[in-house]
Chain A
């Protein structure tokens, strides 16, 4: 509710009470008897206006005010000696109860499910259905209900009993929902519901008993029960407002939090302090890492935010307009987002520190992992070279050596033709060994790179690609060996992947200087779907690029081709 709406509502309440006072004076009734009735209604309206001022987005304030206005309206209309006014008053009284019932389920954050939305509609419907059977009891000079029917016999009696039983059933279903909500509630949720649920339950019990005694059942609830119900009703605005204000009182914790944060050292103490300040022992903190576009925990381990399935809620934390992280907490804390924001603001600096700490840990973890992977990749590469040497060139040379030995003994025995065959085979083995050694050497280090430079080496690897490659490469001045080699491997590995997986029809290779950085990009028009998987060639490339304070990006949506971009520092 806006400020203007709140003023209008306050004005309306005052006007209604004014009319009531004037009406009572005109009739010659004592105005004093209106004081307790108007006080109860005014209390609802005031509580509603305070609640709406504090929580404009919450429906609770509007429902509290509506309850009060309906009640005040009924009391004023009852003063007016007119049958229609009395009839409206008769309808407004149960309507105020319907508002209150709605509030009991909507408190503090609105209705949670479709079923609850259906249940809260029932009392409103019942009010309409009940209009013909409402009366003011056994008073002779009371104004009559213009739609009233005789409820003492026949159809009227059945209608009356049906309405009473329906009201009983509805009240009991509200009780069930409230009890279930309490039983399923977390610690934080129960803290919020504490002022409301027990009172509402007691009221339902008394109300149901009163309804049943109306039907003539011996429930033992007489005037005393009605008194209890009235007292509970009178307390309702205080209870609801108290529930809403509790959170404000809880802000005392924020001050303590600020003091506690003075001693917080990285590693979990901040989470403990936040859990205490928010009153939610399950609270978790996730820190935002911009470079990863993802969240990590306090230990720097990657984590994802819950999907908001109702079991956990997420509040994003910002500081100076930049994301710092997120609180993952009990949904009950949504009751007072301002309190959560206040706690986050108070913890802002500590959160930022903790975020930096988590970022350092995450980087350290990344460096550790990439260091281990680089060592493993080196070992694997050496193993591959040994295996290739053993299976390839070495076997050829063994054959060569054996063939020469055998040829020599053939020569000794004069079997010239056999010796010639053996030497022919030896020559073939030697040719194969040379070819295999050449390929192996090329795999160890691209000789072209040191002899003719990056651009020519990239052009050479592009020429060998089975997919047509367009190369746009230029460098300003000499590059360090490591930058040249890394840029070369980005192109070579990417082109190998294109040939193996992409089913592309063309590839663009672009190498250019951007300030003191070298940008290497390989883009194809293939099937896409590439990503940096653990143990993949792309992961090896990413590690190699990271060593040069660079960054490897893979853009590869299925069907939209693959673009590998490495950004290397030349400094």
Chain B
């Protein structure tokens, strides 16, 4: 069965790049959102296997969105990502957030995301 994904990022350029990367890794990208409110709505409606979630969004930050998603869509694997490193936000804060993993944008790879979504990692 094809894995589905939703990409949440306010930079269109990054969304396009991530979309290509996920599709190359065998995902079907079923939706995109550019802010936190849109993310919660899209994920609840589409119930994807993976949510690639940027930290810096125009309305609410990715940590808060992740906490909301864990309640509204507990089945989705949430991967938080950012131009910054996890260290910039504090490891404790990252650890306390209900996400599968934090991956800096420059270190993202389709294969890793596929493994996380399939639950093999």
Contact = CB atoms under 8 A, between A and B. Distances in A.
Contacts of B21: 402, 406
B11 interface: yes
Interface string A393-409: 01101110111011001
B105 interface: yes
A395 B108 contact: no
Contact of A398 (B24, B106, B109): B106
A236 to B, nearest CB: 83
Interface residues of B, number: 16
B14 interface: yes
A395 B106 contact: no
Contact of A395 (B18, B24, B83, B109): B83
A508 to B, nearest CB: 43
B20 A398 contact: no
Majority secondary structure of chain B interface residues (helix, strand, loop or mixed)? helix
B90 interface: no
Interface in A379-423: 390-391, 394-395, 397-399, 401-403, 405-406, 409-410
B13 interface: yes
Interface string B99-117: 0000001101110000000
Majority secondary structure of chain A interface residues (helix, strand, loop or mixed)? helix
B106 A406 contact: no
B108 A402 contact: yes
B14 A399 contact: yes
Interface in B18-40: 18, 20-21, 24
B83 A406 contact: no
A390 B106 contact: no
A223 B25 CA distance: 125
Nearest to B106: A401
B67 to A, nearest CB: 23
A387 to B, nearest CB: 10
B17 interface: yes
A402 B24 contact: no
Contacts of B106: 397-398, 401-402
Contact of B83 (A398, A403, A409, A410): A398
Contacts of B13: 395, 399
B96 to A, nearest CB: 24
Contacts of A398: 14, 83, 105-106
Contacts of B109: 405
Contacts of B18: 402
Given A394-B83, A398-B83, A398-B105, A403 B24 contact: no
Contacts of A410: 24
Contacts, number: 33
A223 B105 CA distance: 113
Nearest to B16: A399
A394 B83 CA distance: 7
B81 to A, nearest CB: 10
Contact of B20 (A390, A395, A401, A406): A406
A403 B18 CA distance: 10
Nearest to B56: A390
Which residue of B14, B18, B24 has the most chain A CB atoms within 10 A of its CB atom? B24
A395 B82 CA distance: 10
A399 B13 CA distance: 8
A409 B18 CA distance: 15
Contacts of A402: 17-18, 21, 105-106, 108
A376 to B, nearest CB: 23
B27 to A, nearest CB: 14
Contacts of B17: 399, 402-403
B108 A409 contact: no
Nearest to A402: B17
B11 A409 contact: no
Contacts of A409: 24, 110
A399 B21 CA distance: 11
A399 B110 CA distance: 14
A406 B105 contact: no
Contacts of A394: 83
A406 B110 CA distance: 9
Which residue of A395, A402, A405, A406 has the most chain B CB atoms within 10 A of its CB atom? A402
A393 to B, nearest CB: 10
B37 to A, nearest CB: 21
A397 B105 CA distance: 10
A402 B21 CA distance: 8
A500 to B, nearest CB: 25
Nearest to A396: B13
A508 B24 CA distance: 59
Interface in A521-548: none
Contact of B11 (A395, A397, A401, A403): A395
A399 B20 CA distance: 12
A458 B18 CA distance: 44
Interface of A: 390-391, 394-395, 397-399, 401-403, 405-406, 409-410
Which 4 A-B residue pairings sit nearest by Cβ, starting from the closest?
Answer: A398-B105, A401-B106, A394-B83, A398-B106
Given A390-B83, A398-B105, A405-B109, 17 more contacts: A390-B56, A390-B84, A391-B11, A394-B83, A395-B11, A395-B14, A397-B106, A398-B83, A398-B106, A399-B13, A399-B14, A399-B17, A401-B106, A402-B21, A402-B105, A402-B108, A409-B24
29 contacts: A390-B56, A390-B83, A390-B84, A391-B11, A394-B83, A395-B13, A395-B14, A397-B106, A398-B14, A398-B83, A398-B105, A398-B106, A399-B13, A399-B14, A399-B17, A401-B106, A402-B17, A402-B18, A402-B21, A402-B105, A402-B106, A403-B17, A405-B109, A406-B21, A406-B24, A406-B110, A409-B24, A409-B110, A410-B24
